[in-house]
A and B are shown apart, each in its own frame.
Chain A
Amino acid sequence: MSLSGKDKTVVKAFWDKVAPKAAEIGGEALGRMLTSYPQTKTYFSHWSDLSPESAQVKKHGATIMGAIGDAIGKIDDLQGALAKLSELHAFKLRVDPANFRILAHNIILVLAMYYPADFTPEVHVSVDKFLQNLALALSEKYR
């Protein structure tokens, strides 16, 4: 389900809107993922606090959203844009790629919460496709 020209336009426009709150959204999404899907906590045993209020969680959520923002800037070549991050996730972090879909769901939920009027079904489907393509690019180096 590759990204059409329309998907890219929609995603970029919506991202411009949410960019000022991107860090906050990332922190929220990660916190919710750890709360609703406790199996994801297994990747963060080196953190002392895995609650939604945790400074570590908020900081890492912001980092993730920063990377997503960068990827949007290179939306025509997601594989190239994410090559290094894919190596990191594949060989060092070894995160099961099934978890990318779980995080995507939580990002989408937080976007819906923060921007209920803007996150129309049309925006939702383009963002969902984008996050799916992002996850695919992130899984590229796994095997």
Chain B
Amino acid sequence: MKMMTMVNLVRGSVMKIHGLSRVSLCVPAVCGVRGLSSTSGPKVCIVGGGPAGFYTAQQLLKARQEASVDIYEKLPVPFGLVRFGVAPDHPEVKNVINTFTQTAQHERCSFHGNVNVGKDVTIDELRQAYHAVVLSYGAEGNRSMGIPGEGLAGVFSAKDFVGWYNGLPSNKELHPDLGCETAVILGQGNVALDVARILLAPLDMLKETDITQNALEALAGSKVRRVLIVGRRGPLQIACTIKELREMVNLPNTRADMLSDDFKGIAEALKDLPRPRKRLTELMMKAVKEKGDDKVEKCWGFRFFRSPVEVLAGADGKRATGIRLALNKLEGSGESVRAEPTGQLEDVGCGLIISSIGYKSIPIDPAVPFDPRKAIVPNEMGRVQDTAGLYCSGWVKRGPTGVIATTMNDSFDTARAIIQDMEAGKLDVSVSKPGAPAITALLQKRDVRTVLFPQWEKINAEEEKRGKSLGKPREKLLDVDKMLKIAWS
């Protein structure tokens, strides 16, 4: 059996191991791609198979009846953060997968998984094959706290922790130690609340979700009883939304443990707040007042006006045993209120520290402009700066905030910009472009075999089958190799 061949790409050599594939097997370009192989319609390529990619595709297909769209995704499985980010106990949020599935099955759309754009194929090569290329690859990195001790055992980014309980292959070896009583989460957005909730939720509820079995087992043995969610500013600046806060307040067998000092002056400020912020703050105040029964073992609480300055190690110097926080005061007003240190410090003993201060996009190809300060691809309304024919949508365009609907609107905007450019002649769609067959041929030469949508559906069926025997909607496969084996079986 022929194994891999050494391939020299533009930026160096890449050894691609696809041990389970034979180079001589059937060409996917012919088998899986529906319909139009040699149309003259506009051909668009989308890099990233998450919500941004799918919503952009959806809008393009709808707006131009002759356009065809190809979605390239690094993993063998589609859907991005809907699969790996949305909490297991929020299955309704994942309903969008239904509409994405319809898009992928559209006759003018095809999905190509297991393609690492930037390594297996370059952006320039994609631009040669397509009339337009859309970057929708999201934010796979995370912001670091930038404090001493961040690398100690017991410290994780929320991105990795969430990836771990959601079965992201690169996080399967995380093995977080849940043997401590107190966990401290830095950041107070919805991701921070998801993590807190998963740490404290009754097992009865989690065990019927698509949380991974190994995470479930780790949580079953967890000694974590107290979760503090720390933010550098005050209650009026909290970034989470009310639905997630309500879920914490209503979490069975837990009680809220807040500091009334943190809420000085808040009651007076309520009347001037717009309704959404007002309701959120009122709910928090209610949680402060109704302290709950001390006998209830599990507790959670916000801690405001605190910034992390150092992770403290135990005697062996290897493991986190606490975190040093700087106390802040607020300066300024309105949306630009900022935290200024007072000089006071506070140490909190804890064995698990999760930093939830933001995801971060990374550059994947030197040919693409990238703003390292904002960590986004510089653009105007989705048109990449100084680069005709290149667009972006989703977090890589706007930064890593917002819910799925925000990304949906944003992706529709980018699609509209592309359509406008086609209609105005800024994108020359009269010149013929080869599209997917050219890229598939390139990939084949480099020993990269793609996963087409019907092949993902085999992975999907297998996961649902495994889930069924466990009473869960699915049991996710954690290994890329296992996914590929099933896809290509």
Determine if chain A interacts with chain B: no
Q: Give residues in A with beta carbon < 8 Å to B.
A: none
Q: Give residues in B with beta carbon < 8 Å to A.
A: none
